[in-house]
Structure 1
Amino acid sequence: MPTYAYACTSCGHRFDAVQKFSDASLTVCPECGGDLRKQYGSIGVTFNGSGFYRTDSRSGSGAKSDASTSSKSGSSTSTTPASAPAPAST
């Protein structure tokens, strides 16, 4: 459940209240009976990293061709038999 900050417009009393999303906002100050206002502050979200690019969510042909090229080149070098040296003639 979220915590909401309230401040009284009459006496300046400030407090936090834990309420459900479906609960109505508080309107009466518990100290003096004056009007309350909900206080809004900054949220604790930080975005780190380099960001997103247009190509991040696509599986374009560039990614497929790069993967197939690297797998072909890796498999051709590993399956090529080593050539034996030719016998020397005397």
Structure 2
Amino acid sequence: MPTYDYKCTSCGYTFEVFQKISDEPIGFCPKCNGKVKRLIGAGAGTIFKGSGFYQTDYKNKSNKPTEVKKTEGDKHSGDKDRK
């Protein structure tokens, strides 16, 4: 069942009501008994059930980063100047 947001046009009170889709909209404010308007909501978010989704679930195992190996030529140029 969805949750609907309402706002009173008289006192400005905002409240939520948990009701069926087939239920009639609320007509009066529970605080002042004034008229209410149903607000447009963002709707419910996506609900994921189960163990979850992880970034590693979709990684291609053959695309591992290659290891960079140092060679004798990769030493700092400053090492030659030191004596």
TM-score by length of 1: 0.47
* RMSD, aligned CA: 1.6
- 1:15 and 2:15 aligned: yes
More helix by share: 1
* Structure with larger RCO (C-alpha < 8 A, sep 6+): 2
The sequence identity of aligned pairs, in percent, is 46
Instruction: Name the CA distance, whole Å, in 2 between partners of 1:42 and 1:33.
Output: 26
Instruction: Name the CA distance, whole Å, in 2 between partners of 1:44 and 1:2.
Output: 8
Give how far 1:45 is off. Answer: 5.8
- 1:25 and 2:25 aligned: yes
| 2:8–2:34 contact (8 Å) kept in structure 1 | yes
| 2:10–2:34 contact (8 Å) kept in structure 1 | yes
Structure 2 gap ranges (5+): 47-83
Instruction: Return the index of the structure with the highest Cα Rg.
Output: 1
Poorly superposed stretches of 4+, deviation over 2 Å: 41-46
